[in-house]
Amino acid sequence: MTQKFQAQIYVTLRPSVLDPAGTAVQSGLAHMGYTNVEQIRIGKYVELSLTAESESAARSQLDTICDQLLANPVIENYRIELQALATV
């Protein structure tokens, strides 16, 4: 029996890693007059659906996928949210 899951994955730079894109956005906003905005960090947001035997199987597969493809574990963290949809 397999289940269908919807997943959201948030990939963010580790706090110790410089974020030039975030700095560029912040300086762009300052030029536009928004000087009250700070600490901008830009990451990736991935939505996907998958089928798996169980929620823990889905989560462990997504962990592997993030480590191997979606995130660079040296400089990035990731967080996975998972919702069970329907039994297939």
CB of 72 to its own copies, least distance (A): 14
Q: Tell how far CA 31 is from the center of its chain.
A: 29
| Between 38 and 74, CB nearer to its own copies | 38
CA distances from 35 to 26, 27, 28, 86 (A): 8, 9, 10, 46
- Contact residues for its own copies (CB under 8 A)? 10-12, 22, 25, 28-29, 32, 34, 36-52, 61, 65, 68-70
Instruction: Please tell me what DSSP assigns to residue 60.
Output: H
Closer residue to its own copies, CB minimum distance, 68 or 87: 68
Minimum gap (Å) between residue 88 Cβ and its own copies: 10
Name the minimum Å distance from CB 33 to its own copies: 10
